[in-house]
Structure 1
């Protein structure tokens, strides 16, 4: 079983969208028995809150389920559980690197856009600020299938 954890600041916009989309990609390929997917926050500010209304609207428009999702901050147990931690921007990458209990945990952390060779180091902007939820979805839709392939082929 491969455990994939998506992380953003509040776990109400980008990471739940990534979780929902990745779950759909995995299900569509018949790989549910090979992957476990969750999402977390680097901040406890939104703890317990459901996804942002804009994220819910976008997920619904693309046939993604957000049932039962609520914000939860990452913990030492989350680092331990995850085989891969995918984050959306450099600030959260920095925070995760700082929070990681060990070097082995730091080695699990990847910037989402880095899977696209021409977009290494690029960020997926937080739609909480930009209100561009569809753009966020499109960025995730361009990267997550490539992450799935990389996980399957152990290319990461």
Structure 2
């Protein structure tokens, strides 16, 4: 199982959006049973809360359901269990690097490193802005998650068990 964890500050806007986008992509790609997708915040400001209503509305318009998500803060166990820990911006990446045990720091990256359509390093926080910010978050997440999906699909195929011969087939 490959585990992907998306991280922003409060886990109510950007990271749950990235989680919903990537979860749909891995499901549509037929690898949902091999990939665990989650999100968390570097801070506990909103633990237990649903995603921002504006994130939910923007996501719903594009076919993503964020309604079941509840914000949580990253834990020490996340650093060891996740294969990819992807921050939305430099501040959260810095906080992750500060908290993360050194042995797991190689897992920490910015999500936008996987983008190919948008030349931006970070996904800006839409919380204090208008609707356009939430749509931009979706644009960036869809782009970066598509690039990430290609990496994850290759990794899934690397770890897939060899096909077993069907009954009646000759074994060589």
User: Matched residues in 2 for 1:149 and 1:36: separation?
Assistant: 15
User: Matched residues in 1 for 2:115 and 2:136: separation?
Assistant: 16
CA drift of 1:117 comes to 6.5
Structure 1 residues 60-75: aligned runs within 5 Å: 60-75=60-75
TM-score (norm 2): 0.84
Check conservation: 1:111, 1:121, Cα contact below 8 A.
Answer: no
Alignment-derived partner of residue 151 in structure 1: 152
CA drift of 1:110 comes to 0.8
Q: What is the CA RMSD across the aligned residues, in angstroms?
A: 1.6
- How many correspondences in the alignment? 153
> Structure 1 94/145 Cα, relative in aligned 2: closer, same or farther at 3 Å?
same
> Structure 1 107/120 Cα, relative in aligned 2: closer, same or farther at 3 Å?
farther
User: Matched residues in 2 for 1:58 and 1:67: separation?
Assistant: 12
After superposition, give the CA deviation of every residue in 1:103-145 in whole Å (9 maximum; x if it has no partner): 2321101101112378677111001023310011001111101
After superposition, give the CA deviation of every residue in 1:27-56 in whole Å (9 maximum; x if it has no partner): 111111110000000000111110001100
- Which ranges in structure 2 are unaligned for 5 or more consecutive residues? 156-172
Structure 1 residues 80-91: aligned runs within 5 Å: 80-91=80-91
Check conservation: 2:11, 2:39, Cα contact below 8 A.
Answer: yes
Check conservation: 1:41, 1:73, Cα contact below 8 A.
Answer: yes
Name the SS for the 1:129 alignment partner: coil
Q: Does 1:126 align with 2:122?
A: no
Moved over 4 A (4+): 117-121
Alignment-derived partner of residue 160 in structure 2: none
Alignment-derived partner of residue 108 in structure 2: 109
- Which ranges in structure 1 are unaligned for 5 or more consecutive residues? none
User: Matched residues in 1 for 2:145 and 2:116: separation?
Assistant: 14
User: Who wins on radius of gyration, i.e. which is larger?
Assistant: 2
User: Matched residues in 1 for 2:61 and 2:115: separation?
Assistant: 25
CA drift of 1:68 comes to 2.1
